[in-house]
Amino acid sequence: MKEIELSKEVRQDLVEAISNFFWQERSERISEFQASTILDFMISQMGPAIYNQAIADAHALMSDRIDDLYGLEKRSR
């Protein structure tokens, strides 16, 4: 599987969200480096499972749409 890559903007937003979480939930300030390290860990550990679930969800949705196409078939007389 290809490594999960985030845009610079998305990555920065997530790092800020992690920092805010630690402050709001634990009253603990963490550095940008620490938040970035946590993000990298979360991506490496949880990313594949989330990615695979997204693929399964997309597959189910597309399968339903393909089944809908069969409903458009013309019946011969």
pLDDT digit string, tens, across residues 7-55: 999 999 999 999 999 999 999 999 999 999 999 999 999 999 999 999 9
| Confidence (pTM) | 0.75
Amino acid at 38: I
DSSP-derived 3-state class of residue 50: helix
Tokens 């946590």 locate to 38
16: in domain: yes
1: in domain: no
55: in domain: yes
Q: Tokens at residue 70, please?
A: 């069969």
Which of the four pLDDT bands, split at 50, 70 and 90, describes residue 76?
Answer: confident
2: in domain: no
Structural domain boundaries, residue 64 = 8-70
Count structural domains, the chain: 1
75: in domain: no
| DSSP state for residue 29 in the 8-state scheme | -
Contacts of 30 (CB under 8 A, 6+ apart): 18, 19, 22, 38
Residue 1 is predicted with a pLDDT of 60
